[in-house]
Structure 1
Amino acid sequence: MLKRILNISLAYVGVVIGAGLSSGQDLMQYFVSFGKWGIIGTIVLGIISVVFGKIIITLGSYFRSNDHSEVLSQIAGPITNKILDIALIVSCFVVGLVMIAGAGSNLNQQFGLPFWAGGLLCATLIIIVSFLDFEKITGVLGIFTPIVFIMIIIIAVHTFTNRSFDFDELEAISATIPSPMPNVWISLLNYFALAVMTAVPMAFVLGGSIMRIGVAEKSGILGGLGVSIIITVVTCVLYANVKLASTVDMPMLAIAEQIHPIFSLIYAFVIYGLIFNTAFSLFYALAKRFSSDNPKRFYPILIGTVVIGYALSFMGFKELVSIMYPILGYIGFVMLAILTIAWIKEKSNIKGEKFLRRKMIRLITKKYDDNQDYTIKDKEKFHQLGEDSIVDTQSIKSDIKDLVKEKFNDDTR
């Protein structure tokens, strides 16, 4: 169970911290541009991130969603559902192509490779990895998260050890950084709303892969905490190095170069991995959405959208961040409101479903445990609980049986 929580939480962090956050570009525009107040803003953002991390993953588990529309259709009215569905589709595609652009910028800045080469490699990897089974995909999404966390801590220690800072100079340089936001409070809300818009499609799918709601809750909290720590630490590092960071597309990569060339090389690959994580999650969720009624269309849709995204990525990474992110963030305000209302309305039902699934798991465990008797009464109770579940009766019964059988198979190996 602990392994499952870690896998999902790391995958969630990997989905959220894409090219902008791990490279530092969006944090420069959203927070560092406001100086010390921007750092305070990231702390507030961190608290919000933990709360909504739990909400998003848990709602996905509660509704056992395969794509975001399955959750939205349950928590929003028909008109709002349609608006948010369209907004998420646009968000997946736009931020996906921004990630591909970030892949091009990353390898261009570090290795001098042509912009088109880095983007093409990222697009190709998205298509290849999509052919793996979902458990392996979850592992791929989370693999770079602990690495980038360690590397960011190393950068932070290097930045703040045995150095003094002229805060007046840092404030003055920060003030020259253009920001798409009028003040830090709107900035933090817009940034988080954007993060939700980009994370929700895949986060619902991640949550939908979890049967135990308690596991989903813990995964969301841990994932949200990971995101909040990384955002705050990276913003502090960027602020302390703002003179250098304000002059490049990939500021964290430029700061890493000050430590050691080999460290910088590794960090470039890690950023590239995180760019891929987010890009893959967005295009994967987009293809899932459009193929929900016909799974055979999944791969043609995914390949087609990735190819179009790659073609449009030549608009440029920095420019795309400054233009598209604020627009999507404002649309995300509606999503935050809907998620909050849904959580308040469904909280007692989620708690009931949580205990219902526990009872079903305990009952069906008797069937596969040689030391227990699975009676006719147990079978009838199991079926009745399945009918009481918010999920389709046959689906919930089948999934719980598979979960328990898998556990027994693992125990006997």
Structure 2
Amino acid sequence: MKKTYWKIAFAYIGVIVGAGLSSGQDILQYFLSFGKKGLLGVALLGLLNALFGKIMVTFGCYYREDSYEGIFSRIAHPIITRALDYVLIAGNFVMGFVMVAGAGSNLDQQFGIAPWAGALLCSVLIVLVAFLDIDKITGVLGIFTPIMAGMILLITLYTFWGKTYDFTALDMEARTITPVMSNLWLSTINYYALCAMTGVSMAFILGGSLVQLGNAEKGGLYGGICIGVIVMVAALSLFANIDKVKDADMPMLAIVNHIHPALAVIYAVTVFALIFNTAFSLFYSIAVRFAGGDTLKLRKCLIGIVIVGYVCSFGGFKRLIGLLYPVLGYMGIVLLVVLLMAWIREREKIIFEKNSRRKMIRISLKKHDPEKEVSPEEKKLFHTLVDISPADSETLKSDIGKAARRILDGTDDTKTYAENNLPVDQDLLKRKFQK
């Protein structure tokens, strides 16, 4: 089952690492504007990604709800839930039109296309895709995330291979950049809160696709760690080239242009694809929220949202990040507090549910194995565990059975597999039923 949690980890990376990181503008304003000290903030950002990546994906698996509203209603007061709903809608809209502005800046910097024209192209594509097979389009666009990660690693290798830098001089140069806020640690938390706002809905969905909580925990944790590594190498590259990129709208693209113009074309196209994918996902999620399942209404809502978003994008990519991202970050801090408090409060229940589902899979393995027989006590325990689970009973039973069948198809020795991959704290289960 190791492939399962790595699949979730890579998907989570794609949710968080996208257009924002690929431009490099947010790293400049939030971190490197503090000089080399800003790299400590990047390290803290990696830790926050790992911690909250684990929390968000695990909550998705634990509750297995269809939407983020369903999970927030379980972990927060109804007033807080309503407030978070409004915050996420506003955050998605603002991030959406900032991405549209980024599309214009990207094409302008690389190809000399007027920013309004590049932003218009991105907006028109968003509307057109809403009338096509969305799953296939977004599936194709998903390949750009690993391409981007690979190119960032290539940029870092080129930057430091056989070269030395005067970090004191670079530190002084970096401090000439105007930071979005005066304190590095607040800046780091604010920026991660912004990332969490854009990623929480998909993180819940990723977790809800899993049955085993252990896989969800590892998927979110490992994905967060990988994000931390990617952001750090990008930040190191930007810091080493700070004198060349500090005034650029797309700093990473400016570095690639110094490597080779042809590579810069590939990078610019990749960035545009990531920006489009991010903007489409953000605007589409708002339209879905208000459409109520009506496809025609969804498309009309999306067109209206895109038009308003395009007009708002005229504020300029670099300027919009400096003005609006901090505000969104403060709004996102409320989300982080709610998630952390719920995690502390529900931790024991999550540990029990992890053991409970492992036990259910063990029983289901016996049920689907023609050479074994499930005892009446085990049948009773299985149904009891299903009934007390926070997840939907029928869906959980079905998915437990599917997981058991996949294990049976993949191994001949289910006993050894269960001992190695499905350990159960029997004492924990007993204590639960003795209360």
When normalised by structure 1's length, the TM-score is 0.89
State the shift of 1:127 in Å.
2.8
Q: What's the CA shift string for 1:159-181, capped at 9, x where partnerless?
A: 12233323343223222211221
Residue 60 of structure 2 is aligned to residue 60 of structure 1: yes
Counting matched residue pairs gives 408
1:87 is displaced (CA, Å) by: 0.6
**Residues 14-413 of structure 1: pairs in structure 2 closer than 5 A:** 14-113=14-113, 114-120=117-123, 122-124=125-127, 127=130, 131-132=134-135, 143-290=143-290, 294=293, 299-300=298-299, 301-302=301-302, 305-306=305-306, 308-373=308-373, 378-404=378-404
Distance 1:392 1:298, change over 3 A: farther
Is the contact between residue 11 and residue 141 of structure 1 (CA under 8 Å) also seen in structure 2?
Answer: no
> What's 2:433 paired with?
none
- Once the two structures are superposed, what CA deviation does each residue of 1:265-291 show, in whole Å capped at 9, x if it has no partner? 222233233324433443454345446
Q: 1 CA distance for matches of 2:302 and 2:407?
A: 33
Query: Deviations 1:375-407 (Å, cap 9, x if unpaired)?
Result: 665544432221110112223223333444566
Once the two structures are superposed, what CA deviation does each residue of 1:188-245 show, in whole Å capped at 9, x if it has no partner? 1111111111111221122222222111111101111111111111111111111121
CA distance 1:403–1:96, change in 2 (3 Å): farther
- Give the C-alpha shift of residue 3 in structure 1: 3.0
- Aligned AA for 1:116? A
Cα root mean square deviation, aligned: 2.8
8 A contact 2:122–2:276 mirrored in 1: no
Kindly tell me: are residues 342 and 163 of structure 1, through their superposed partners in 2, closer, same or farther at Cα, counting changes over 3 Å?
A: same
Structure 2 CA distance for aligned equivalents of residues 70 and 407 of structure 1: 30
Distance in 1 separating the partners of 2:5 and 2:132: 22
Range 271-280 or range 216-225, more displaced: 271-280
C-alpha change, 1:218 and 1:100, in structure 2 (3 Å) is: same
Q: Deviation per CA, 1:341-383: give whole Å up to 9, x if none.
A: 1111111111111122222223233443333335665544432
Q: Which moved more, 1:178-187 or 1:159-168?
A: 159-168
Is contact 2:102–2:119 with CA below 8 Å preserved after alignment? Answer: no
TM-score, with length taken from structure 2: 0.84
Separation in structure 2 between the aligned mates of residue 366 and residue 140 of structure 1, nearest angstrom: 40
- Verify the 8 A CA contact 1:50 1:222 in the aligned structure 2: yes
Which 10-residue stretch deviates more, 107-116 or 216-225? Answer: 107-116
Q: Which runs of 5+ in 2 are unaligned?
A: 413-435
How much has 1:124 moved relative to structure 2? 4.6
Q: 156-165 or 72-81, which moves further after superposition?
A: 156-165
| 1:365 match: secondary structure | helix
Q: 2:182 is paired with a residue of what secondary structure?
A: coil
CA distance in 1, matches of 2:202, 2:111: 31
What is the distance in 2 between the residues matched to 1:295 and 1:61? 28
In structure 1, list runs of 5 or more residues that go unmatched.
Answer: none
Displacement after TM superposition at 1:121 (Å): 5.9
Contact 1:100 1:123 in 2 (8 A): no
Asked if structure 2 preserves the Cα contact closer than 8 Å seen for 1:33 and 1:174, the reply is yes
Residue 97 of structure 2 aligns to which amino acid in structure 1? L
Query: In 2, Cα distance between the equivalents of 1:97 and 1:408?
Result: 48
Q: Residues 206 and 239 of structure 1: is their aligned pair in 2 closer, same or farther, counting only changes over 3 Å?
A: same
Contact 1:173 1:243 in 2 (8 A): yes
Q: Which has the larger radius of gyration?
A: 2
Aligned equivalents of 1:392 and 1:357: distance in 2? 13
- Are the aligned partners of 2:62 and 2:350 in contact in 1 as well (CA < 8 Å)? yes
Percent of aligned pairs with the same amino acid: 45
Q: Matched residues in 2 for 1:361 and 1:289: separation?
A: 35
CA distance in 2, matches of 1:294, 1:120: 23
Instruction: Give 1:307 deviation, angstroms.
Output: 5.0
Amino acid at match of 2:38: G
Q: Give, in whole Å, the separation in 2 of the partners of 1:202 and 1:208.
A: 10
Summarize the Cα distance change of 1:368–1:125 in structure 2 as closer, same or farther, 3 Å threshold: farther
CA shift for structure 1 position 122: 5.0
CA deviation after TM superposition for structure 1 residue 126, in Å: 5.4
